[in-house]
Amino acid sequence: MIEESRAPSNFIRQIIDEDLASAKHSEVVTRFPPEPNGYLHIGHAKSICLNFGIARDYKGRCHLRMDDTNPAKEEQEYVDAIKADVRWLGFDWNGHEYHAADYFPRLYEWAEKLVREGKAFVDDQSADEVRRTRGTLTTPGAPSPFRDRSPEENLDLLRRMRKGEFPDGSRTLRAKIDMASPNLNLRDPVMYRIRREHHDRTGDEWCIYPTYDWAHGESDAIEGITHSLCTLEFEAHRPLYDWYLEQIEVPHRPRQIEFARLNITYTMLSKRHLGALVAEGLVSGWDDPRMPTIAGLRRRGYTPEALRLFCDRIGVAKADSTVEVELLENTLRELLNVSVKRALCVHRPLKVVVENWEDGKVDEIEAPFLADDPSAGSRKLPFTRELFIERDDFMEVPGKGFKRLSPGKEVRLRHAYVLRCNSVTKDSRGEVTELRATIDPDTRSGNPKDGRKVGGAVHWVSAPLSKPATLRLYDRLFRVPNPGAGEADFRTQLNPHSLEILDGARIEPAVAEAQPMERWQFERKGYYVADAKDSKPGAPVFNLIVPLRDTWAKGGG
């Protein structure tokens, strides 16, 4: 097995090991808490593999929790997509699906408790005033003039906020912590804001909504989460996470641990920006095969195994990091190589007439789908007088090291005969339109009897018996290694060649009936998948998943 059944260790697993060894915990409970305001991307896959992987390896459980505290941005479509993506990745929350919104009543009760204890107050200041009085990184903030209201008044006001007596944004409930704290998150953070917004789950029951900080640790506590894993930017929120937890009575305290989020070269992993690409029509949708979303990668032809193996390989640590996209591609190829059946597909056809093959004669040549694995079966390749080969596989004036076809030279037709090019036909523009050639009849699936060496092998199809196919050649969405970095607008950094459509490709008959999502390797070219939406048996549309490595092209040849 290439894929490890247990993920490699990391600093978080070490912490868990210690917690188990010291009997601080007897079981491990994690959670994956997406906000349903967009589709999951490969960065989320890292978090999913981490959280669900830990639950699997420690025989604990991992909850799927929709972090839906902000009704303005959340939709059911996203909830459904998130669940589909997590399942496709190969993980199961075993019925532990929760929503932060389900905790709204409990959160509100706890808020009243804080108010009664003088630990929270209703602030009448506007968002603008709150911002202005928060202070700066180096100077303390000024307390709100409403900070010292009595618990009775605060309780009355909070209840009226909840009942809807005040307009949106006119008041907030704030925790009373420390306006002079060097940690801005502790300068009387907002716990509730007034917002008359329909919530997908609670409807119009609430007009006040809890903030992330107030809801998250409490949700973790309610669910009995032991280790609450999140990304580095929440590090400064941990003191607040802990402060809130200290104010309420819960049987166990979850521990927040932060790790570095995933970055990948030539890739943008920002839900907001990815959403902009979709909204502005720069891609065909969240599942555009160029998108680093899980839905996009799935449609592109990536396998869940590859994504999981990749997540194991990148590791988990606290240092900011950017993984080279080559690691992702290599992981994918490594898995596809051992399992995906081979076929021949001529991308840009060039006609070859075999002069010593009589018209109408068909030789059916047996060819295995996988050279190393006879159990994968085989198919018959029809060989006829007229063939197509790849335009790139012929050069009238071959460059140094060119091993393919040129006038007077021989090349191996994969699985079939050795072919010699006799003459070249060109059109008025000097474009090569046809090759005349002869085959060596003694080389059918074998080597020349006289022991002469034939350097290259090229793929081919029968001209009359091959089938048409549409090929979508995908390349990276961005031309720059770090799109959107600094002041740059990612829209100006899109790769204009991220999609090239070839409608004139010819495939061997065995592939023409491919079912949607069926994967093939087109030899010497790359791995392809029949598009989930646009491909039909008999009218195939293939997406390039990833090209084969090409050390010839790389060497500048």
Partner RNA sequence: UGGGGCGUCGUCUAAGGGCAGGACAUGGGACUUUGAAUCCCAUUAUGAUGGUUCGAAUCCAUCCGCCCCAACCA
Token match 């978090």: residue?
Answer: 47
Annotated catalytic residue within 134, 261, 379, 380:
261
Which sign does the torsion angle of CA 507, 390, 462, 525 carry?
Answer: negative
Cα torsion through 524, 313, 37, 495, rounded to 10: -40
- CB-wise, 97 or 235, nearer to RNA? 235
Which residues lie across from 29 on neighbouring strands?
61
Q: CA 221, CA 167: separation in Å to the nearest integer?
A: 32
- CB-wise, 42 or 532, nearer to RNA? 42
Q: How far is the CB of 340 from RNA (least distance, A)?
A: 9
Q: How far is the CB of 233 from RNA (least distance, A)?
A: 4
What single string gives the DSSP state of each residue in 19-54?
A: HHHTTS-SS-EEEE---SSS--BHHHHHHHHHHHHH
Question: Exposed, middle or buried by CB within 10 Å (0-12, 13-18, 19+), for 113?
Answer: middle
Annotated catalytic residue within 35, 75, 197, 523:
35
Other beta carbons within 10 Å of 401: 10
- CB-wise, 233 or 249, nearer to RNA? 233
Please indicate whether residue 35 is annotated as part of the active site. yes
- CB-wise, 155 or 548, nearer to RNA? 548
Please indicate whether residue 271 is annotated as part of the active site. yes
Q: How far is the CB of 135 from RNA (least distance, A)?
A: 7
Bridge-based pairing of strands 61-66 and 97-99 is parallel
Q: How far is the CB of 185 from RNA (least distance, A)?
A: 6
Q: CA 18, CA 14: separation in Å to the nearest integer?
A: 6
Q: CA 248, CA 226: separation in Å to the nearest integer?
A: 17
- What six digits make up the tokens of 19? 């917690």
Q: How far is the CB of 141 from RNA (least distance, A)?
A: 8
- CB-wise, 330 or 495, nearer to RNA? 330
- CB-wise, 372 or 431, nearer to RNA? 372
Token match 């996470």: residue?
Answer: 241
Annotated catalytic residue within 271, 385, 404, 472:
271
Instruction: Give the H or E element holding residue 510.
Output: helix 509-512
Other beta carbons within 10 Å of 254: 25
What single string gives the DSSP state of each residue in 239-264?
A: HHHHHHHHHS--S---EEEEEPPP-B
- CB-wise, 201 or 444, nearer to RNA? 444
Q: What are the two backbone dihedrals, phi and then psi, of residue 228, each rounded to the nearest 5 degrees?
A: -105, 100
Give the CA distances from residue 407 to residues 131, 181, 328, 390, 426, in Å, rounded to whole numbers and listed in that order: 76, 80, 40, 15, 13
- CB-wise, 150 or 447, nearer to RNA? 447
Contact 307, 296 (CB under 8 A): no
Contact 289, 299 (CB under 8 A): yes
Q: How far is the CB of 487 from RNA (least distance, A)?
A: 12
Q: How far is the CB of 472 from RNA (least distance, A)?
A: 19
Q: How far is the CB of 229 from RNA (least distance, A)?
A: 13
Please indicate whether residue 358 is annotated as part of the active site. no
Contact 340, 527 (CB under 8 A): yes
Q: How far is the CB of 541 from RNA (least distance, A)?
A: 21
- CB-wise, 88 or 212, nearer to RNA? 212
Alpha helix stretches (DSSP H) within 164-303 = 212-223, 238-247, 271-279, 294-300
For the annotated catalytic residues, the residue numbers are 35, 261, 271
